[in-house]
């Protein structure tokens, strides 16, 4: 403090630093990562991997890389064979996934879990978490694969770039062909779903869908899978396309405020992620089509003009199916009618701009 009673920028840094140090110490002792993340939504001066923000628990080094970004690296002599990203809160009001990641971190810091594979744990959008909104300015889950470069500056643009950097550093640190990459991006949905939990398997190009990964999803309690039909800007597609990670966007049910989630509903997910990072037997069943509801995309209904009309109720559940020849939309005299058995809708939204997708049309499929 200077003697004229005004704060210099150095004073402010010290005060912020002191507040941060106390909060960080509280996190190390009690493991409340949600609290630490929400207190420092824009980060802190001490950000970085090679600074003092790391400690050891049960033969694993825990490093706080940034707000909402925690790296756990086993210190064992065995070569790690897996690099695992588990992310939550890419949409800030999707609290159940954030609480699942919190549970994993609590268990790691309390030494209930011994982490045997490199693991990056993420709470994606702290600013949106604090305002209990999906996002502040832009939908973060459309900004990956460099799409953040094409928008005007906002928090999500900044955050997408930072997260890409951390994930890229994480996967690039172990590039041996013996190491397999994984990314499970956990979400909850805005609307009801005929199938409460479902996962979107990012588009794989010529690569086959991985049946063991589908079995893992089923073991996590997620047996409805929607196969992606093209490149996107989602977080899971980014890890899949850029780092060959086995990756999924996982929708775990409906959005609820913090503390109102029935965590027993997510126990299978938490248990299997725990088993994965601690290298326990995953006890997977062999893939069998009859254990799953598999869907492939038939196409989008795109809103072309202001005359667009969608004949799907606002509260229609995801995966609602319609009989053949049902009129779903009209636009400038063009009609969309269902033509196939089991045609179902996902993510309907009539309030999009012209040229954007108003609803995704899917049909049941099986793997042969």
Reduce the DSSP state of residue 264 to 3 states and report it.
Answer: helix
Minimal distance in Å, beta carbon 105 to Zn ion?
20
Pick the closer one to Zn ion by CB: 249 or 329.
Answer: 249
Per rule CB under 5 A, is residue 91 in the interface with Zn ion?
yes
Per rule CB under 5 A, is residue 197 in the interface with Zn ion?
no
Output the residue with the shortest Cβ distance to Zn ion: 187
| Contacts (CB under 5 A) with Zn ion, residues 278-317 | none
CB proximity list for 4: less than 8 A, separation 6 or greater: none
Minimal distance in Å, beta carbon 118 to Zn ion?
25
Count, residues near Zn ion per rule CB under 5 A:
3
Minimal distance in Å, beta carbon 190 to Zn ion?
8
The token pair at 199 is 């996962």
Pick the catalytic residue from 41, 251, 334, 343: 251
Interacting span for Zn ion (CB under 5 A) from 56-64, 88-96, 206-214, 321-329: 88-96
Minimal distance in Å, beta carbon 345 to Zn ion?
18
| Contacts (CB under 5 A) with Zn ion, residues 154-193 | 187
In angstroms, the CA 335 to CA 358 distance is: 14
In angstroms, the CA 191 to CA 179 distance is: 37
**251 part of the active site:** yes
The token pair at 86 is 């588990």
Which ranges of the chain does DSSP label H, i.e. alpha helix?
9-30, 33-39, 95-109, 126-130, 155-172, 211-219, 235-243, 267-277
In angstroms, the CA 346 to CA 300 distance is: 10
Q: How many CB atoms lie within 10 A of CB 11?
A: 12
The token pair at 31 is 């493991």
Pick the closer one to Zn ion by CB: 58 or 254.
Answer: 254
Pick the closer one to Zn ion by CB: 250 or 362.
Answer: 250
In angstroms, the CA 248 to CA 201 distance is: 5
Contact yes or no for 85/183 (Cβ under 8 A)? yes
Interacting span for Zn ion (CB under 5 A) from 86-94, 142-150, 170-178, 206-214: 86-94
Q: How many CA atoms lie within 13 A of 357 on its CB side?
A: 11
Pick the closer one to Zn ion by CB: 91 or 303.
Answer: 91
Interacting span for Zn ion (CB under 5 A) from 92-100, 106-114, 177-185, 304-312: 92-100
Pick the closer one to Zn ion by CB: 82 or 91.
Answer: 91
Minimal distance in Å, beta carbon 91 to Zn ion?
4
Please give the positions annotated as active site.
251
Residues in contact with Zn ion by CB under 5 A are 91, 94, 187
């Amino acid at each position: 403090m200077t003697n004229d009673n005004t704060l210099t920028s150095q004073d402010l840094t010290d005060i912020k630093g002191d507040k941060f140090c106390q909060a960080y110490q509280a996190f190390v002792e009690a493991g409340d990562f949600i609290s630490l993340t929400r207190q420092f939504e824009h980060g802190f001066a001490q950000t970085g991997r090679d600074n003092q923000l790391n400690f050891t628990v049960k033969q694993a080094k825990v490093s706080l890389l940034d707000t909402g970004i925690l790296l756990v690296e086993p210190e064992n002599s065995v070569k790690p064979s897996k690099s695992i990203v588990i992310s939550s809160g890419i949409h800030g009001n999707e609290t159940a996934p954030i609480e699942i990641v919190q549970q994993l971190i609590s268990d790691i810091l309390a030494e209930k879990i011994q982490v045997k594979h490199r693991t990056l744990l993420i709470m994606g959008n702290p600013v949106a978490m604090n305002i209990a909104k999906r996002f502040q300015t832009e939908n973060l889950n459309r900004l990956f694969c460099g799409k953040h470069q094409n928008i005007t500056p906002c928090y999500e643009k900044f955050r997408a770039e930072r997260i890409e950097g951390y994930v890229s550093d994480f996967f690039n640190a172990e590039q041996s062909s013996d190491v397999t990459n994984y990314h499970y991006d956990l979400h909850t949905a805005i609307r009801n779903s005929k199938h409460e939990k479902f996962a979107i398997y990012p588009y794989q190009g010529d690569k086959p869908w991985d049946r063991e990964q589908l079995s893992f999803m089923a073991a996590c309690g997620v047996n409805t899978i929607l196969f992606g039909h093209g490149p996107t800007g989602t977080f899971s597609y980014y890890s899949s396309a850029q780092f060959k990670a086995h990756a999924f966007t996982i929708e775990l049910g409906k959005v609820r405020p913090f503390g109102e989630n029935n965590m027993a509903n997510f126990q299978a997910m938490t248990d299997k992620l725990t088993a994965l990072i601690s290298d326990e037997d995953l006890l997977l069943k062999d893939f069998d089509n009859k254990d799953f509801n598999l869907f492939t995309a038939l196409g989008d209904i795109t809103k072309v003009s202001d005359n667009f009309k969608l004949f799907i109720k606002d509260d229609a559940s995801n995966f609602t199916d319609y009989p053949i020849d049902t009129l779903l939309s009209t636009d400038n005299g063009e009609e969309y009618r269902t033509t196939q058995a089991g045609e179902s809708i996902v993510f309907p939204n009539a309030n999009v701009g012209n040229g954007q997708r108003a609803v995704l049309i899917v049909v049941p499929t099986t793997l042969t």
